[in-house]
Amino acid sequence: MTTTLTGKNQITVPAEITRHLGLAAGAQFDWAVGDQPDQITITIKPSRKQLLDRVRAIGRKFRKPGQDPVADLIRAREEDERLREKTL
């Protein structure tokens, strides 16, 4: 596939590639000069949603079955509050 650089330094991503990679408006790319003089490497940067999904997946690996981290946090804060009230 061949595309043309416009006068505003813009390049259109071919529709076939856009569909194949699931790209949408707002997708961001990281450009780098390759090892050869006429070579460019383009890497698709992950969206914020994709980054958030990755972080959540990492957290799930460390969670034990039946564990509720939110409930644990609430209990810890309630305990801290009770201890503060006793010391006052």
Residue 32 pLDDT: 96
**Residues whose CB falls within 8 Å of the CB of residue 29, separated by 6 or more in sequence, listed in order:** 42, 43, 44, 45
Going from N- to C-terminal start, the domains of the chain cover: 1-45, 47-88
Say whether pTM exceeds 0.75. Answer: no
Q: Kindly report, residue by residue over 31-82, the tens digit of the pLDDT.
A: 999 999 899 999 999 988 889 988 888 877 777 788 787 888 999 999 999 9
Residue 18 banded pLDDT, cuts 50, 70, 90: very high
3-state helix, strand, coil in the chain (%, to 5): 45, 15, 40
Residue 48 pLDDT: 87
8 Å CB contact between 13 and 31: no
Residue 33 pLDDT: 95
